[in-house]
Amino acid sequence: MNKNIFVISDIELGQGDIFDDFKDETMLIDFINKISQEPGKNILILNGDTFDFLKMPYKDVFTHHITEDISLWKMQRIIDTYPNIFKALRYFISKRSNRIQFNVGNHDFDIMWPSVQNLIKKTLKENTKIVFAQEFNNQEIHIEHGHQVDYFHKMDMKKPFIKYKGKKLLNLPIGSVSIIKYFIELKKEFPYEESIYPRHQAFESFPTFKKRKQKIARNFILKGLLLNFIIGIGDPISNVPYINFIKHVFSHGLETLDGSKFMRKRFKNIIKLHPNKKVYIMGHMHITHHDIHPTQDHIQIVTDTWRHEFRIQKHDTISKLKNYAKIVYDNNKLISVDLLTFVP
């Protein structure tokens, strides 16, 4: 039997407010409907940051103390905001041999809570053909979101939850805390500029945006990093993993913005952990990349975002296209691996 694996990432569904960067609902529904028609067995891998819990306030307040109830409330908000997307997913999964895998990303660690998983399963009216995981692996393929090889957004997987003042909380990495407590202001004040990638080009083109970013960054470095041991006393979620900053500088120098510069090293780190695969796929960096590694014989793919994002072209910005990876098997034999642009 024919088997297709489809991979998309970084959809970032929110609750339809100014922090919600997803706009192309019809396009996503068309995509899901199109792959629902494919004959054979179809596996849809939503490779992380499917939902944007991170930039979503809980009842108008941003907090980095995320309980299961908060995540569940946010998940319900997302479902209520995009009922037709869940309807399309329900149609896809209703086909007998189809499967959906939700890989965790740094914007949706919240899907690790059992009640959030149950709500998604209930909404999709399916219990057994939906999987929640950190990564997808078979003999030839490795697929993960990519934050685990990003020193700012890497989660402590030995301790994904933490007890604090009698409550169980998501043990968020420093990258999440910095967004919730500091950089969310940038999104609020510059929603359009914040949707331009690559980031370093956006800062070059919009000086007031850059100035504001620098001010927030200074504030974060002073309070969030240097004075944190006073300000964050007793708060386990605000602990700064200084060692990760040192590791980042060793790997990438002082570069913090240009994803394409991190990419090689990140693939290298993933391959070290999962050697001898033929295909490695990541998201997270919001870039499009498809390459056959020159010395080792394997394919590296980065799928770009499905949020509404712009790129700079000459003196203007244009909307980025949506892409997806498609892997085809014929009777368990790997036939093709492609990175494609979705055309409705």
Residues that bind Mn ion (CB under 5 A): 49, 105-106, 284
Minimum CB distance to Mn ion smaller for 103 or for 106:
106
CB closer to Mn ion, 237 vs 302 = 302
CB 108 → Mn ion: shortest distance, Å?
Answer: 9
Q: What are phi and psi of 73, to 5 degrees?
A: -60, -45
Whole-angstrom distance, CA of residue 330 vs CA of residue 336: 10
Shortest Cβ distance from residue 233 to Mn ion (Å)? Answer: 30
Pick from 293, 319, 318: which is nearest to 308 by CA? Answer: 319
Pull the structure tokens for residue 271: 């391959």
Half-sphere exposure (Cβ direction) of 236: Cα atoms closer than 13 Å: 15
CB of 106 to Mn ion, least distance (A): 5
Residue 86 corresponds to which amino acid? F
Which residue lies nearer to Mn ion by CB, 284 or 298? Answer: 284
Angle in degrees, CA 39, 292, 248, rounded to 5: 110
State the amino acid at position 121 in one-letter form.
Answer: K
Q: Cα 137 to chain center, whole Å?
A: 18
Nearer to Mn ion, 65 or 286 (CB): 286
- In the complex with Mn ion, which residue's Cβ is closer, 99 or 153? 153
Tokens 């899901």 belong to which residue?
Answer: 32
Judged by beta carbon, residue 11 or residue 100, the one nearer Mn ion is 11
Q: CB of residue 183 vs Mn ion: minimum separation in angstroms?
A: 14
Rounded CA separation 105/91 (Å): 24
Supply the minimum distance, in Å, between the C-beta of residue 39 and Mn ion. 33
- The least distance separating Mn ion from the CB of residue 283, rounded to whole angstroms, comes to 7
Which DSSP category does 332 fall into? T
Give residue number: closest CB to Mn ion.
Answer: 284
Burial of 38 (0-12, 13-18, 19+ CB in 10 A): middle
